[in-house]
Amino acid sequence: MAKQFKEFKLSTTDEVEGKVEAVFSVFNEVDSDGDVVLPNSIKSGYGEKGVAMVWAHDWKDVVGRGEIVDDGNKAIFKGQFIMDTERGRDAFNTVKAMGDLQQWSFGYEVDDYEVGMFQKDTQEIEVRYLKNVKVWEVSPVLVGANQNTSTLSVKSDEDMRDDCVKDTEIEEIKEPKRFNEDVDELLIKLSTVLKRAKELTALRLKKEKLLSESSTDVLEELQDTLQEVFQDIDTLLDIASPKPDKDIVDDTTILLQTEELLLETMELEVEGEI
């Protein structure tokens, strides 16, 4: 499953350095991505090892780590900036200086979800209910998707600095991903999108409704993009593929095919004379 990103807003409430606590997901609310996160659905992708804190989703720019706490109503990230490094201190100072303007995002994978309807104000809208989500990292960013989240505190504890994480390397980012890995992730993502489109369509048809205009527009845009991608890939294969083109026929083959055609023509003429 390809990784996705969801954003949330933070506001600094404590001037002491080092640690951060932030509400990064509120359950049973629809966000701007059209998702509703269900209680007990969010887990760290690393299990009990916690979750990484990186800057703007750049996995080569690790600034801390922390853990996820679920209180039944919301998910809270309790983290520690790496204050033993200049980058960790800079990241912390930036977050603290931004205050209420600071927003964050988290990278995640959806292991289980279902499509359904959600009552928002006076409207019933289609949403994706997230039932099982693996969170791989949280990141300071500029714009958030869920505006009902906030920083609980940003603080420092001198006694905790000796326990600050020094080994921040994440195995998945030690080496750049290979091209085939990028392709595999894209194919998985496309498969997920197609599955969701089918589920949305089935849900609408079951209610004797057609797709909404926005869903139709998105699918048409996807269709156009995929057609352009197909044409580009076809061109790349034509000009650079090491495999011989099956449509290219050598001179000898052309000569043999011509002779066969002439013979067939002569036989038809002879039969006609008889």
Residue 263 lies in a domain: no
Domain around 35: 4-174
In this prediction, residue 3 carries a pLDDT of 58
Give the chain's domain count. 2
Q: For residue 266, which amino acid is it? A: M
Q: What is the pTM of this model?
A: 0.51
Residue 146 lies in a domain: yes
In this prediction, residue 53 carries a pLDDT of 93
58 and 24, same domain (yes or no): yes
Summarised one tens digit per residue, pLDDT across range 39-49 is 999 999 999 89
Reported confidence tier of residue 4, pLDDT bands at 50, 70, 90:
low
Summarised one tens digit per residue, pLDDT across range 68-120 is 999 989 888 899 999 999 999 999 988 888 877 777 778 889 999 999 999 98
Residue 246 lies in a domain: no
- Total Cβ atoms within 10 A of residue 155: 17
Residue 8 lies in a domain: yes
Distance of CA 71 to the CA centre of its chain: 26
127 and 159, same domain (yes or no): yes
Residue 33 lies in a domain: yes
Are 150 and 92 in contact, with CB atoms under 8 Å apart? no
Alpha carbons 150 and 99: distance in angstroms, whole number: 10
Residue 122: CA count within 13 A, CB half-sphere: 0
189 and 142, same domain (yes or no): no
Alpha carbons 20 and 22: distance in angstroms, whole number: 7
Summarised one tens digit per residue, pLDDT across range 176-206 is 567 787 788 888 888 888 887 888 788 778 7
